[in-house]
Structure 1
Amino acid sequence: MTVAVVEVGGSHLTAALVTLEPPAVLRSRRWHVDPDISAEAFMDVMLEGAHWLAPGAGAPWGIAMPGPFDYPAGIGRFENVGKFEALNGFDIRAAFAARLPDTPGRIVFLNDADSFGLGEFTAGAAEGFRRAICLTLGTGVGSAFIADGVAMSSGPGVPPDGEAHFIVWGGAELEETMSRRAIRRAYLERTGADLDVHEIADLARRGPGVAASVLEHAFQALGEAMSPYVRDFGAEVLVLGGSIAGSFDLIEAPLRKGLARDVVLRVAADPENAPLIGAAAHASRP
């Protein structure tokens, strides 16, 4: 079975044809999209991707979109968020279905972080586990809480809408401590130097100092914030993706210290293809 997939990020749109037997991306192509793109121009890019894929009549479509978004309805809710404002209130499902060259099968939408988590669960670092929490660490903290192949948005150990950025640590939302901007701000306040995270990580690898201290604080805070969710959700594995996960050699020890519980820690196995496979898996569910 093949599934047509569209995955939308902050500045890109990827179209892919995915098979799930076994899970693999057969082909994919990426287009640049501006965050301030018009609704019509956005649909033009989507349709260019659809024509390039040409999956045929009856093919299911899985479409991964960042939030805020009404996923059951396929309608954007991008109000005052600084991206895709032209899609606020726009019925993407109806516009997409009406312009496809062939009559589609089901068209389903899901959160982009959930698509990443489902992909890692289906054929990645969380494969073989029943319950997994997958985090993307970068501009913010994206998250997916996966139970038996389903992305959960509520229930024990699941923050509101399954989104870890709602978690409060130290009296503020988690992203005020664990995010690219938070790490850069913490280093700037202590040194007066405005460095990016990868530069701070390079300094931390040289030995003890401000850079190492800043990163240790952020990653231990992440562990402490996630610890009760790992416990209550019953997560067997915690998967890390996103740009900051590239510093796993600096993350693991303080994160484990903060978690203070036994859970498998892994770096995402295929962060590029995981969202595509995850969207396909979601579209293939009965």
Structure 2
Amino acid sequence: MIKYVVGVEIHVKRVEVAIIDLESKQIVPGTNVQTAINAMESAENLLSCWTDAINESLKIHGSEVSHIGIAVPGPFDYDKGIFLIQNLQKFDALYQMNIKELLSERLNIPKENIRTANNSPCFLHGEVLHGAAKGYNNVLGFILSSGFGSARYTDGVATDADLWKVHFKNSIANDYLDIKWISQRYKEFTGMDVTELSELTKLAKTDDGIGQLVFGEYGENFATFLAQYASLYDSDLVLVGGYTDAWGQFLQHVKDRMEDRRIKVPIKQAVLGDAAILIGAACQWI
């Protein structure tokens, strides 16, 4: 039985690594390593940064760990380990590269010992195993961070729900639920070009109500969308995660709208933060 696994989260702004104890399904204390990255850097720089972070975490842990679970955004071939992201202003240099092979060479471990999955199901799996969704069997999860992600947990398995591309209103869900919608709407009102979710949330707390108005509109969009899919999947829990302060701007509005529609599914906020993704990534080896 595998005792320890390296959990890795590849994010557009950072890479985070920790050693995960598969028995307790928790991070081994002190093994967290987080390094800032620029997702538009060269392939060599990105791979070196990821490798250095993994090696640093392994050095802290002090014992041999030969299995790795990686959470990585898509588009991506998760079975083969190949980046398919192109023209999205992130990881362009890695297009069609096989990171399982490249990391196995750098870390001197078999490529078969590296597994990859989307960030969203990793987040949800971690929260089911050891967080706010523990004890639930049919969970619909959403993560709002650098983008809008969705996942489902059923029959003991977390999968990417891919709801970003479903039809919604006059387009697809992503056009109304991604943070780009919040940023663009705020710009329409104020003329300010603010792309960071954390900054938009801060502005909503301090401006003259424009930010609250924008988040309120976003909450209305999300409530309409959620009502459809929580009912379709007959979920016994909706779990939301990512940037907690952002959800705080509109989540109560969403709950109120769900009550108005007599949809009684509970809605909880995640509690593990980034640890959920690391745990979920590593627990691909369970």
- TM-score bracket for the superposition, by shorter chain length: 0.7 to 0.9
Q: Percent sequence identity over matched residues?
A: 25
Q: Distance in 2 between matches of 1:192 and 1:33?
A: 29
Where structure 1 has 5 or more consecutive residues not aligned to the other structure, the ranges are: 154-161
- Is the aligned partner of 1:13 residue 2:15? yes
C-alpha deviation, 1:211, in angstroms: 4.3
Q: Structure 1 residues 43, 203: closer, same or farther in 2, change over 3 A?
A: closer
Q: TM-score, normalised by structure 1?
A: 0.84
Q: Structure 1 residues 11, 200: closer, same or farther in 2, change over 3 A?
A: closer
Q: Distance in 2 between matches of 1:76 and 1:94?
A: 12
Determine if contact 2:186/2:192 at 8 Å carries over to the other structure: yes
Per-residue deviation, residues 26-64 of structure 1 (Å, max 9, x unmatched)? 111012222122222222223223332157667321011
More divergent stretch after superposition (16-25 vs 189-198): 189-198
Structure 2 residue aligned with 1:178: 177
Q: Structure 1 residues 203, 148: closer, same or farther in 2, change over 3 A?
A: farther
Q: 1:30 aligns to what SS in structure 2?
A: strand
Structure 2 residue aligned with 1:47: 51
C-alpha deviation, 1:72, in angstroms: 0.2
Match for residue 149 of structure 1 among 128, 153, 156: 156
Per-residue deviation, residues 129-174 of structure 1 (Å, max 9, x unmatched)? 0111221124431111111331234xxxxxxxx2222133221222
Q: Distance in 2 between matches of 1:98 and 1:191?
A: 50
Q: 1:134 aligns to what SS in structure 2?
A: strand
Match for residue 197 of structure 1 among 196, 200, 216: 200
Per-residue deviation, residues 158-203 of structure 1 (Å, max 9, x unmatched)? xxxx222213322122233333332233344345566652145315
Match for residue 262 of structure 1 among 249, 264, 272: 264
Match for residue 40 of structure 2 among 36, 43, 54: 36
Give the aligned residue type for 1:241: G
Q: Distance in 2 between matches of 1:23 and 1:78?
A: 30
Q: Distance in 2 between matches of 1:250 and 1:41?
A: 37
Compute the RMSD of aligned alpha carbons: 2.5
Q: Distance in 1 between matches of 2:105 and 2:234?
A: 43
Per-residue deviation, residues 82-138 of structure 1 (Å, max 9, x unmatched)? 111111111111122223245576211001122111111111111110111221124
Structure 1 residue aligned with 2:225: 225
Q: Distance in 1 between matches of 2:125 and 2:38?
A: 26
Match for residue 68 of structure 1 among 67, 70, 75: 75
Q: How does 1:63-212 map to 2 (within 5 A)?
A: 63-101=70-108, 106-153=113-160, 162-190=161-189, 196-202=199-205, 210-212=210-212
Where structure 2 has 5 or more consecutive residues not aligned to the other structure, the ranges are: none
Q: 1:108 aligns to what SS in structure 2?
A: strand
Give the aligned residue type for 2:253: P
Determine if contact 1:203/1:212 at 8 Å carries over to the other structure: no
Determine if contact 1:130/1:148 at 8 Å carries over to the other structure: yes
Q: TM-score, normalised by structure 2?
A: 0.84
Q: 2:274 aligns to what SS in structure 1?
A: coil
Q: 2:39 aligns to what SS in structure 1?
A: coil
Give the aligned residue type for 1:175: N
Query: What is the count of residue pairs matched by the alignment?
Result: 272
C-alpha deviation, 1:247, in angstroms: 4.1
Determine if contact 1:58/1:105 at 8 Å carries over to the other structure: no
Q: Distance in 2 between matches of 1:282 and 1:90?
A: 22
Give the aligned residue type for 1:214: V
